[in-house]
Amino acid sequence: MKSITKKRTKAFLIDLAISTAVTTGVEYVLRKKVKNEAIHAIVTPTVVLWSLEFAQLRKKGQTVGYKKMGLVLENEHGTKLTSSQLLKRMAYRDSISPFDYLKNPTAYEQQNGQLLPHDNFSDTVVKEV
């Protein structure tokens, strides 16, 4: 595994830990109002993770995990990140990206971990600061 890939993995785990803590608080409040267990198991964690990630990336191009690991998300074309790019990136990462990576991992390993399938799909690149 390349250096940036390891950093990206650690950054995602940091962000996931923060998201889990926030989700716990949100679920505590929602449990009284929403009785459907599927909402608490599937929808709430996803919405919290995506919301936190979207807000942080839109504002500074970094999540807490990215900042801690010295990474930044940038637009491939050098312009400011758009909302649609970030939403496409998150949706693709959490659905199709693992299959694309498993299909041809060497294509992404040659990029030194800067470009993964969801980055290619959304025209973004992760760089070290």
Q: What gap in Å lies between CA 84 and CA 78, rounded to an integer?
A: 16
| Average pLDDT over all residues of the chain | 92
pLDDT-based confidence at residue 1 (cuts at 50, 70, 90): low
Q: Residue 50's closest CA among 18, 80, 4, 87?
A: 87
Centroid of chain to Cα 13: 10
**φ and ψ of 122, to 5 deg:** -105, 10
> Quick check: pTM over 0.85?
yes
